[in-house]
Chains A and B, each alone.
Chain A
Amino acid sequence: MSKRPLRQKAPGDVWMKRIISTYGDLLYDLCQSMLWSPADAPDAYRSILRTLGRRPKAERFLKYERSWILQIAFNELRGMKKRSPRLLTPAEQVMLDSNPDPKARLRFFDSYFHRLPIESQLLLLLRDKYGLPVSEVASVLQIPEPSARLQRLQALRLMESWIYGGALGTNS
């Protein structure tokens, strides 16, 4: 029995309204968290919605809808982040790393978080902030599930080394 995606043949406006009402807040928060800029989040959000609206109707999955939407959102955000990344200046980085107290460094969690690769950022946000299962996160990133688990562990190890000064799994 071949698996066929369920096709939703709803009129565009109705479908888009449903998507916005269901995933709007998630997408908006994802935009702001990934881009690290409240000013850019609305444009990113609109850009994602427009891209969703332009995709062929045959692609509109009902069963795996959330993964599909997040995948499109991730592609848009990745492009935007590459074009205009928000980076810390060398002085800010030195100031960040010069503080020996892990508690103080933890207050700048965002700064350390945005040092991670963009794929790791998405992975941690989807899994640990929004609570999505690892399998779904892996499908968004289009990687196998074990790879997603390993990437998550590596990202957390990196964050731990930056903030606490040691690394998980190392004899330090």
Chain B
Amino acid sequence: MEQTPKMDDFEASNKMLDAIDGILSPKMARAFEAHLAESEESRDRLTRLRELLSVLHSQPRATMPLDLRERPLSFPIWRLRRFFANPRAVWKQLPVAARLLIEGVSIAAVVVVGIKLGPVARDLYERRMEQRLQTMIAAEDLSSGNVPMARGIQSDSEVSDEVGNSEGGENETEVDTSAGVDVDSDVQVGRGEIWRFNLKTDAPALVRNQILKALREAGLPETTPGIGGVEAPGGIQFDLIVPQALIPSLKVTLEKLAGTPSENLPFSETFTWYKNRSKKPIPNGTSRMVIWLSQI
């Protein structure tokens, strides 16, 4: 009787797969079975191996999508979809030569486009800035444009109208305040007076707009004759009739607008004022105000 060969754990583990596949020779199969009867460890290993093979065998089969089954060889759209889903992966799959070519062409294209577009971008920017500037100027003109430059009611004979002059801020001994408005102790506005303000500025047109704004804010209607000022050689002049109560505040505003003279100028004051009595009658409660913006 042929003796069954003895098998150890190592040999048994090497023959396990063949035993499961059923391709062991009868002699080896008997030896394997004998070893299994004696070794619990080998039995456990066999169980685990069978379990693994069972899991492998029972792995689900993937179902081919219907459109792939119908059109298995069409793929441009899929490639695009796949590219957009994961562009890096698709890029990595391209051959090195193709990637280098695409990169080189892209860099060259970027450089050429940059060179071509540079002047165009600069033009666009300059046009835009010019448009903005034009808009600003137009807005400024619009704000002052609806008040055209025009003389006030009393104009040419103003010098002969003046009875006497008084200059300065503090000494107002000639002022007749009996029927005037006493708003401020330093500025007493009398009846029938002409108030003259002289501002020295290097931009009369700009200051004109500011004076116009101040006059509007003071409550003067737009239709007040002379509110727009008039251009004269050497500057711009405003000649208008205003309520007496507005004179002090306007004086303060005009003084602020005149600003402080710089050290380079030959004169020390940019704002001077005086008042005198008017020969021609001025409506009650009002005074004549003449503002002269002289160009430095």
Measuring CB to CB, which residues of chain A are less than 8 angstroms from any residue of chain B?
16, 20, 24-25, 28-29, 32-33, 38-43, 45-46, 49-50, 53, 80, 83-84, 106, 109, 113, 124-125, 128-129, 131, 149, 152-153, 156-157, 159-160, 163-164, 166, 168-169, 171
Contacts and interface: CB of A to CB of B under 8 A. Distances in A.
A103 to B, nearest CB: 10
A106 B58 CA distance: 13
Contact of B49 (A28, A109, A168, A171): A168
Interface in B7-21: 9-10, 13-14, 16-18
A160 B82 contact: no
B73 A28 contact: no
Given A45-B72, A46-B73, A83-B92, A160 B52 contact: yes
A50 B73 contact: yes
Contacts of B79: 43
5 contacts: A28-B68, A106-B55, A124-B56, A125-B56, A128-B53
A153 B68 contact: no
B202 to A, nearest CB: 72
Nearest to B15: A153
Nearest to B79: A43
A18 to B, nearest CB: 13
Interface residues of B, number: 34
A42 B65 contact: yes
A140 B18 CA distance: 20
Given A43-B75, A160-B49, A29 B61 contact: yes
A91 B3 CA distance: 54
A80 B93 contact: yes
A43 B13 CA distance: 41
Interface string B80-98: 0010011001001100000
B69 interface: yes
A149 B17 contact: yes
Contact of A159 (B9, B52, B59, B65): B52
B57 A129 contact: yes
A169 B10 contact: yes
B69 A24 contact: yes
B8 to A, nearest CB: 10
Contacts of A24: 64, 69, 72
B62 interface: yes
A51 to B, nearest CB: 12
A129 B56 contact: yes
B48 interface: yes
B17 A84 contact: no
B64 A28 contact: yes
Contacts of B10: 169
B78 A43 contact: yes
B17 to A, nearest CB: 5
Contact of A84 (B45, B64, B93): B93
Nearest to B47: A164
